[in-house]
Amino acid sequence: MKLKSSLPFWLIKNGLINSYNSLQEDASCEVLIVGGGITGSLIAHQCIKDGYDTLLIDKRKIGFGSTSATTSLLQYEIDVPLVELSARIGKQAAQACYLACSKSIDTVHAIAKEVKSKAGFKRKKSLYFAAYKKDVKYLKKEYHARKEAGFAVDWMQEEEIRQRFDIHKAYGGILSTQGASMDAYMFTHELHHFNSKKGLRVYNNTELLTVLDRKDYSEVTLGTGAKIRTKKIIYCVGYESTAMIKEEFVNLISTYASVSEINPTAYKPYDELLIWNTATPYLYLRTTDDGRFLIGGEDEPFRDPNERDALIARKQRKLKSQFFKHFPDLDFYPDMTWAGTFGETKDGLPYIGEHSGFKNSYFVLGFGGNGITFSAVGMDMVSFWLKNQKHPLSEPFGFGR
């Protein structure tokens, strides 16, 4: 599946950071990770930390899939609001999901420090604002639910948002202290480089073709003709899992993002803020570490890569219009605009766990708008499972829920 186009900002900005060879000879390992994007890099980091002999393969260049297209907002907020999620799975479970995502931002921050990352991890506040006046009542309920769950949040009136942030047509909102942003593409390469020095084996241009399951191990055949014998397989393949798993469990969508030309002076007041709203589909904004404004949204159901790509020019105009709606006093000159394929689940939660159709295996699929934080939660879950321990989020994140 073609996951993104045209060339995303992060790929152009950073280029090919590190290059890895394909796997041409037979190999064995304790843990095989399939997928070398941000999810695979985080899971590999945990496996190496826990002392497992770990090998990672990717059929593309490292980070060239969805990782290069992500806007890299790190939020504890799940696409399904806490009030709605509580009604679906119960208050205690919903709060546990939100709290795990909050903790995961701290986890990513700690890893960024550990690897001496230059991927621009930055702590930011998050403003979730009402796109329409009718949304204010619901958003206040969400504010109280988060307050009750222990999150550091403040309610902001429309006039307060205007005065403090100069954001127009924001009819009230929740300001959270927990949030961050980074360059996920660069961070992925940093993690692989760091862990390669600790024993991680990384191969790109290496596609998994077949898996033969035995009682205590699996034998994987690769497109290169080589084979891998492994005790466990962890699939970090994101939206391409829809080609592997028969039942429908996620809806694929096309999302669009546009990044402005550099204007650090004008955009500086927003360096400490993530912004998103209650519209359907929602709009999301952040600044970059080189002084640009990035805006994303205008989602469409995914049908065909060519149809998705044909909409890029029109979506750029719409995103620019949305920017001026909320920031009429700022300039926004689009520099790069791209499309990516992402997914949404019925409850906004990821799928992380075992699947009955795959022996000796786990999936870590961080669907939704905060896939990076879900992937960081997955690190903890995988660590539990490889030690034959049960994780408290296995049920809400599991298949068949």
CA–CA dist 239, 383 (Å, integer):
23
- Residue range(s) of every CATH 3.30.9.10 domain in the chain: 123-179+251-344
| CA distance between the termini of the chain | 26
pLDDT one-digit tens code per residue, 117-141? 999 999 999 999 999 999 999 999 9
Cα distances (Å, whole numbers) of residue 231 to 190, 206, 287, 360, 394: 26, 19, 43, 7, 21
pLDDT one-digit tens code per residue, 349-359? 999 999 999 99
In the chain, the percentage of residues whose pLDDT exceeds 70 is: 99
CA–CA dist 74, 373 (Å, integer):
6
More confident residue, 364 or 342: 364
CATH superfamily, region 123-179+251-344? D-Amino Acid Oxidase, subunit A, domain 2 (3.30.9.10)
Confidence band, pLDDT 50/70/90 cuts, at residue 6? low
Kindly indicate whether the domain formed by 4-69+185-248+348-397 is annotated with CATH number 3.50.50.60: yes
Segment 253-278 shows an average pLDDT of 96
Q: Helices 91-114 and 371-386, interaxial angle, to 10°?
A: 90
Q: What is the pTM of this model?
A: 0.94
64 pLDDT more than 60: yes
* pLDDT of the residue at 253: 87
Among 211, 201, 206, smallest CA distance to 52 is for 201
* pLDDT of the residue at 269: 96
Segment 270-281 shows an average pLDDT of 96
More confident residue, 352 or 8: 352
Kindly report the number of other CB atoms within 10 A of residue 221's CB atom.
15
Segment 82-86 shows an average pLDDT of 98
5 pLDDT more than 60: no
Among 1, 2, 4, 75, smallest CA distance to 256 is for 4
In the chain, the percentage of residues whose pLDDT exceeds 90 is: 85
* pLDDT of the residue at 75: 95
Are β-strands 27-34 and 227-235 bridged in parallel, bridged antiparallel, or unpaired?
Answer: parallel
On whether the CB atoms of residues 79 and 344 are closer than 8 A, the answer is yes
Among 346, 320, 342, 344, smallest CA distance to 333 is for 320
- Residue range(s) of every CATH 3.50.50.60 domain in the chain: 4-69+185-248+348-397
On whether the CB atoms of residues 140 and 201 are closer than 8 A, the answer is no
Q: What is the largest CA-CA distance in the chain?
A: 65
